[in-house]
Amino acid sequence: MAEVAEHSGVSSSTVSHVLNGTRYVSDPVRERVEQAVAELGYRRNSAARTLAGGRSHTIGLAISGLTNPYFGPLLHAIEQHVSAAGYVLVLGDTHDEPGMERRVIESLLDRAVDGIIIAPSHGFISHGAGLINAAGTPTVVIDRSVDARHDELTPENSVSTEELTAHLIAHGHRRIAAVAGLPGLASSTERLSGYRRALEHAGIAPDEALIVPGDSNAEAGERVVLDLLAGARPPTALVSLNNAMTIGALRAVRRAGLRVPDDLALVAYDDFEWSDLFEPGLTAVAQNVSRLGTEAVDVLFDRIAGDDRPVERRIIPTELRIRNSCGCADAPL
């Protein structure tokens, strides 16, 4: 920085103001400093800045299943909001595996991130939470509730799935199968409880043989749906409880030579950006992913700034989007 100051004929503090945007600097002076930076190949030392100012201006994001279509828009919303605040996002994929999640958390803490946003695995409390709590790093939990000592922002899961299942019941379906998500995740439990509640309210005894483990991935979803369709009494309708499993379910229906909704009505929790391009269009619960991501970042920045209010759990509303895969012939494509 001293070399940049000497090269441009200004003080080191002026160079700092130009680089960090902390004070007004006239355009001619700013241009001289930026030219000196370019000519000298100067790069700010992030580690030194952290030691000097106590901030790394980085946010860690630990999530699983980056191949899941749900996480693309969520990642985009978080990164855009973090970047707009002058921070850099450091990303780690936990693969929904507690050991990998612990390694990701350790790596983020080693990088002295100013805060962490995490979509926790089923083993977060026993494997990763203690590391974060001991470090005292501000943390926000998203997507899945874990009853931790941190703020949580999750989509509404249970009522949404109850409404989704009730819609199939209103179409006259009684043998409604459910493809359940990874065991141990609050989102899986909440969505399955909504499915069960809809059946019970309609006087339909849940058939445990129709509740199959899709493990929150497309491959397992395809396998268990194929088994359902090959059974002696296949379901007439199917509720898929996350969009990775929905992809697997659609593959299974195609492999079985069946058509939606003529042979099998299909609805899903988690909408796709391109769901209305399916033929037929997919009836699905849509999460407000952009709101979830931006509010999580806002809460985290409040904590980084020293906000010590009690932790909260914030539920983000969802929307049921009716299309044609449920059997609504007059729904928009």
**Cβ neighbourhood burial of 168 (10 Å; 0-12, 13-18, 19+):** buried
pLDDT, residue 332, reads: 52
331 pLDDT higher than 60: no
Percentage of the chain lying above the pLDDT 70 cut: 90
Provide Rg for the chain, Cα atoms. Answer: 25
176 vs 125, higher pLDDT: 176
Q: Give the helix ranges, DSSP H, for 136-201.
A: 158-170, 186-201
pLDDT, residue 152, reads: 95
199 pLDDT higher than 80: yes
305 pLDDT higher than 80: yes
257 — alpha (psi -120 to 50), left (phi > 0) or beta? left
The predicted-structure confidence for 227-280, as pLDDT tens digits, reads as follows 999 999 999 999 999 988 999 999 999 999 999 999 999 999 999 877 667 788
Residue 314 bridge partners (DSSP)? 153
Q: Quote the tokens at residue 128.
A: 């990763």
Per-residue pLDDT band for 19 (boundaries 50, 70, 90) equals: confident
Q: Which helix (H) or strand (E) holds 291?
A: helix 289-304
How far apart (Å, rounded) are the C-alpha atoms in residues 246 and 264? 13
333 pLDDT higher than 50: no
Q: Quote the tokens at residue 57.
A: 């201006």
Q: Which residues fall within 8 angstroms of residue 151, CB to CB, at 6 or more apart?
A: 139, 140, 141, 299, 300, 303, 311, 312, 313, 314
pLDDT, residue 330, reads: 63
How far apart (Å, rounded) are the C-alpha atoms in residues 150 and 4? 43
Amino acid at the residue 135 = A
| CA neighbor of 246 nearest in space, from 289, 217, 281, 274 | 217
pLDDT, residue 231, reads: 93
Per-residue pLDDT band for 192 (boundaries 50, 70, 90) equals: very high
Q: Which residues fall within 8 angstroms of residue 302, CB to CB, at 6 or more apart?
A: none
The predicted-structure confidence for 65-103, as pLDDT tens digits, reads as follows 666 666 778 899 999 999 999 999 999 999 888 899 999
The predicted-structure confidence for 129-171, as pLDDT tens digits, reads as follows 888 988 899 999 998 888 768 999 999 999 999 999 999 999 9
pLDDT, residue 124, reads: 87
Can you tell me the mean pLDDT for 301-330? 93
The predicted-structure confidence for 35-63, as pLDDT tens digits, reads as follows 888 787 665 554 555 545 567 899 999 99
Q: Measured over all CA atoms, what is the biggest interatomic distance in the chain, rounded to whole angstroms?
A: 84
How far apart (Å, rounded) are the C-alpha atoms in residues 151 and 70? 21
Q: Which helix (H) or strand (E) holds 220?
A: helix 218-230
pLDDT, residue 84, reads: 92
- Angle made by CA atoms 325, 171, 155, in degrees to the nearest 5: 60
